[in-house]
């Protein structure tokens, strides 16, 4: 019984020592300068890339709108099919 009790006390002491070492190491790891969270850096990069993409999209949209307006202007000023045929007929007569 005494031997069993000594064994239990020894096991209990080992568990206590292990727990103390674990806590000490855990605090050391938490305070380590080598372990750094880079979520803020990633968030900034993501926001910057979104802003750049937004600017690029705005530029592309402006160029598209300008191209579309140019096409609409050309279509509006183009003679009708009836006018084209009559103009070609008149041209052929001359």
Domain residue spans of the chain? 1-36, 43-94
The mean of the pLDDT values for the chain is: 89
Quick: pLDDT tens for 7-51.
999 999 999 999 999 999 998 888 887 787 788 889 999 999 999
Radius of gyration of the chain (CA): 41
Which tokens in the block code for residue 76? 């509006």
94 — pLDDT class (breaks 50, 70, 90):
low
Q: Per-residue pLDDT averaged across 61-88, rounded?
A: 86
Q: What is the pLDDT of residues 34-43, one digit of tens each?
A: 787 788 889 9
To which H or E segment does residue 39 belong? helix 39-77
Question: 40 and 34 in contact (C-beta within 8 Å)?
Answer: no
CA dihedral sign of residues 50, 52, 53, 57: positive
Q: What share of the chain is helix, strand, coil (3-state, %, to 5)?
A: 85, 0, 15
């Amino acid at each position: 019984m005494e031997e069993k009790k000594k064994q239990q006390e020894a096991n209990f002491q080992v568990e206590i020592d292990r727990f103390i070492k674990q806590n000490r190491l855990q605090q050391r790891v938490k305070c380590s300068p080598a372990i750094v969270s880079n979520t803020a850096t990633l968030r900034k990069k993501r926001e910057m890339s979104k802003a750049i993409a937004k600017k690029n999209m705005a530029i592309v949209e402006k160029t598209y709108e300008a191209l579309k307006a140019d096409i609409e202007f050309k279509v509006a000023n183009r003679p009708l099919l009836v006018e084209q045929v009559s103009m070609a007929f008149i041209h052929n007569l001359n």
